[in-house]
Structure 1
Amino acid sequence: MGPDVTSSPFPLLAEIVHATARYLGALTVLDDRALAAPSALPGWTRAHVVAHLSRNADAMTRVLAQAAEGEAASMYETAEVRDRDIDTTVAELDAGGLVADAQESAATFEQAAASYGGPLDVPFSRVVGGPAQGTVADVGGMRRTEVEVHHADLLLDYAAAGWPEDFSRGLIGRRQAELGLDGPSMVLSSTDVDGLWKLGSGAGPEVKGTAGDLAWWLVGRGGGSGLVSSTGELPTIPRWR
């Protein structure tokens, strides 16, 4: 039985459960050959993306467990351990194993989130001793972003065009904040939802497109396909993670 998302106060748990169900459903039709195909991420196969999402679920579960115990919370021991665990997962598991691992790790995280009773203001880092990445209150948004973006990275039937409107809006807003006033200047105008975002000084070109296409571009995917710039050229966006 899945977590009770109707009564849990954990931020965005219902959205995570729904996004994860879509993602896991897509995995069930993939065989070893399909998982060995390239993803949208340079150098990573679909299997690498699946392995990363599973280990990310473990990392978020770790954060919640440590925060609940009042310990210093971190996602991974080190960046090297994080990378090694992804590679080991890909090397050791076939398609059936990768799907089972994805299901188990996602379910464990969702149950941990649903039952979390600790404070939401506990900070956590990416690696032990590293700078804070946010607080437990941010875990839900981070996990949802991982699932939605990397599901689209698999280059299957699910793409940014299928993202929920609130997610696309939120991701654009997040990138707007991350790029800050020193980032590239432009105005983003959505053609399918009511949305206008000023990046940098806002003095640059107007870039139009659907909210999904705009968000996909802002996270370094798609090369700006589907977007139109008032100057004929799209600004250069700094690398996202």
Structure 2
Amino acid sequence: MAEVAESTARFMATLTALTDDRIGGPTLVPPWTRGHVITHVARATDSLCRLLAWARTGVETPQYASMEARAAEIEAGATRPVAALIADIADTAARFEEAVRSLPEAAWRAEVRMRTGELRTPASLIPTRLRELEVHHADLAAGYTFADVPPAAARWIIDDLVEALHRRDDPPALRFAATDTALSHELAPGGPLVTGPQSALLAWLTGRSPGTGLTASGADEVPPAPYWI
């Protein structure tokens, strides 16, 4: 949880530097504004708390009531002033931390169902929370970029994405390796080898970059990143 706490602090620092007139500004995930992204992070944290409650109590608690309800909540919160957005992020972060720290030992072995239908254990929700913070922090286009993601956090997020891809019935034939860290993965043999800085690999794998800063051997160009969610 130390990485999550540090990531939360970095996210909050960026938010405190924003002003109300910048909340409606563009992001890396159009048509969402910064207000949409920040609200999404808060509501996604709520959803993880619901899954942790499911693990703790054994009572099925869906991550979201519906995808329509999820979208409506994000839209409703997107135009709030900075102070309200910061308070929302702080409150949900505290509740997530408490939900994790108070989880009984037996609950860590429980399985809960993500909105995608995938079964996960509570331990796997921690890198999910880290991914939400770091990727959406960069999405804000407010000074924090994928190059600013600490290498250990980037590695944890990438490893989690690869694990999700390996759970698919048909992982694509693709290999990738960082040129500045020891990161290296093979999804399935026979595909191109994509190489470059770990931060560029993270941006590519999360769909925020077409492969800028990367090269691919065995292919004319860097292929689109596999869809992982």
TM-score (normalizing by structure 2): 0.88
- Deviation by residue 1:152-206 (Cα, 9 ceiling, x = unmatched): 11112222212222332233333334334834433312111123222322x2332
8 A contact 1:75–1:124 mirrored in 2: no
Three-state SS of the structure 2 residue aligned to 1:187 is strand
- Deviation by residue 1:72-95 (Cα, 9 ceiling, x = unmatched): 23221222111111111114x222
Superposed displacement of residue 38, structure 1:
1.2
Q: Quick one: which of 151, 156, 161 aligns to 2:142?
A: 156
Partner residue in 2 for 1:86: 74
Where do residues 53-92 of structure 1 align in structure 2 (5 Å cutoff)? 53-91=41-79
C-alpha separation in 2, matches of 1:32 and 1:99: 11
Partner residue in 1 for 2:155: 169
- Deviation by residue 1:40-94 (Cα, 9 ceiling, x = unmatched): 1121111111000011111122222333222123221222111111111114x22
Share of identical aligned residues, percent? 34
C-alpha separation in 2, matches of 1:110 and 1:64: 11
Partner residue in 1 for 2:25: 37
Where do residues 1-241 of structure 1 align in structure 2 (5 Å cutoff)? 13-91=1-79, 93-117=80-104, 119-127=107-115, 131-180=117-166, 182-201=170-189, 203-230=190-217, 231-241=219-229
TM-score (normalizing by structure 1): 0.84
Superposed displacement of residue 238, structure 1:
3.3
Superposed displacement of residue 240, structure 1:
4.1
8 A contact 1:76–1:126 mirrored in 2: no
Change in Cα spacing, 1:133 to 1:52, as seen in structure 2 (3 Å) is: farther
Amino acid at match of 1:188: F
8 A contact 2:24–2:33 mirrored in 1: yes
Superposed displacement of residue 131, structure 1:
2.8
Three-state SS of the structure 2 residue aligned to 1:198 is strand
Q: Can you give the 5+ residue segments of structure 2 that lack an aligned partner in the other structure?
A: none
C-alpha separation in 2, matches of 1:131 and 1:234: 30
8 A contact 1:61–1:108 mirrored in 2: yes
8 A contact 1:73–1:123 mirrored in 2: no
8 A contact 1:123–1:132 mirrored in 2: no
C-alpha separation in 1, matches of 2:3 and 2:183: 21
8 A contact 1:220–1:240 mirrored in 2: no
Cα-Cα RMSD: 2.1
C-alpha separation in 2, matches of 1:139 and 1:176: 15
Superposed displacement of residue 106, structure 1:
1.2
Q: Can you give the 5+ residue segments of structure 1 that lack an aligned partner in the other structure?
A: 1-12
Stretch moving more, 188-197 or 118-127: 118-127
Change in Cα spacing, 1:31 to 1:81, as seen in structure 2 (3 Å) is: same
C-alpha separation in 2, matches of 1:187 and 1:61: 34
Partner residue in 2 for 1:7: none
Change in Cα spacing, 1:139 to 1:85, as seen in structure 2 (3 Å) is: same
